């Protein structure tokens, strides 16, 4: 999404860009909740973390931490995200834990 926001450049205010981004993040997690609610295990596609989880975890992190999305309407995704928080490899991959992370992560 950053490349789209760059393309928008001065066409939108920063508040408009944030609202547009937030709207699209909500659309995505709403669709994912519907997709996973009846089929997810402990993680997105079963009881072992797989490639889908590697891609989903950062998206949930951004939704929650950057866009302050309330996860209560998305109980499946909230539960899966809590399961990610228990995994040392996922904890180590968080942006704030990276050696080059800015202090705002």
- Would you give the end-to-end CA distance of the chain in angstroms? 18
- What is the domain partition of the chain in residue ranges? 41-95
pLDDT band at 105 (very low <50, low <70, confident <90, very high): low
Please name the fold of domain 41-95. Glutathione S-transferase Yfyf (Class Pi); Chain A, domain 2 (1.20.1050)
pLDDT in tens, 29-80: 999 999 999 999 999 999 999 999 999 999 999 999 999 999 999 999 999 9
Q: Specify the pTM.
A: 0.84
- What are the tens digits of pLDDT across the range 10-31? 678 888 888 888 999 999 999 9
CA dist 34 to 16, 29, 83, Å? 27, 9, 19
pLDDT of residue 1: 58
């Amino acid at each position: 999404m950053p490349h789209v926001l760059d393309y928008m450049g001065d066409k939108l205010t920063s508040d408009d860009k944030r609202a547009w981004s937030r709207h699209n993040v909500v659309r995505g997690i709403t669709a994912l909740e519907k997709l996973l609610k009846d089929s997810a295990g402990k993680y997105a596609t079963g009881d072992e973390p797989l490639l889908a989880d590697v891609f989903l975890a950062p998206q949930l992190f951004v939704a929650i931490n950057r866009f302050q999305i309330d996860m209560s309407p998305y109980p499946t995704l909230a539960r899966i995200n809590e399961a990610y928080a228990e995994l040392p490899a996922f904890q180590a991959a968080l942006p704030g834990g990276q050696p080059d992370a800015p202090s705002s992560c």
